[in-house]
Amino acid sequence: MKNIISILILLITLNNFIMAQTAKDLNGLKVGEKAPFFTAKDQNGKEFSLETELQKGAVVIIFYRGQWCPICNKHLSNLQDSLELIYEKGATVIAISPEKSEFLLKTQKKTKAEFTLLYDEDYKIAKAFDVIFNPTKMQLFMYNKLLRADLKNAQTDDSEQLPIPATFVINKEGIIIWRHFDPNYKKRSSVNAILDALN
């Protein structure tokens, strides 16, 4: 048992190092840039349009890896717990994953999310925001075998690409006014920082 735990700790340590090496060339869209408009299907198969949503007010976009990711689920649960505070600022919350609708529903069940979850088919949205990367073989082993991600079945194709878990706050004019972008998947945006950005 001790050997298994030691191996897991080693794998996690190596994964953190490799993650930074793999994702380090990504920059993500910057504050002040125009956010790319997109349409996508939500967890219920309904079409969402960023351009249409921005007519109502600011939009908070969160990229997350999938329903298999415990840190993603905790992050989205925290957002759900403070959702009314974000709504009071006149903003909408959107969480985007490369997972298909049936897996979005699993995320919704695990996090109790009442906000919109979007399926990023063909990774188009993540590519437009410059947050998509190719995990290493070791990462894929951890995700698919240890966390049971089943990426080839859950996502568009068998490339098993994943987004950096970034957050973007976009104002009504479609301009990015704040972002959280870190290749370290353990570091996520806080509700307080999002609320400050919406002030």
pLDDT at residue 20, as a whole number: 37
Give the span between the Cα atoms of 121 and 131, in whole angstroms. 14
Give the span between the Cα atoms of 62 and 76, in whole angstroms. 9
Average pLDDT over residues 171-194: 96
Amino acid at 160: E
pLDDT at residue 23, as a whole number: 65
The number of angstroms, rounded, from the C-alpha of 113 to the middle of its chain's C-alpha atoms is 14
Q: Give yes or no for residue 80 having a pLDDT over 70.
A: yes
How does residue 25 score in pLDDT terms, banded at 50, 70 and 90?
confident
2-198: CATH topology is: Glutaredoxin (3.40.30)
Q: Give yes or no for residue 8 having a pLDDT over 90.
A: no
Average pLDDT over residues 12-17: 46
- Say which residue, 12 or 112, is predicted with more confidence: 112
pLDDT at residue 56, as a whole number: 96
pLDDT digits 0-9 by tens, 91-132: 999 999 999 999 999 999 999 999 999 999 999 999 999 999
How does residue 5 score in pLDDT terms, banded at 50, 70 and 90?
low
pLDDT at residue 26, as a whole number: 84
CA angle 67, 127, 100 (to 5 degrees): 30
Average pLDDT over residues 182-192: 94
CA distances in angstroms from 42 to 57, 87, 193, listed in the order given: 19, 19, 26
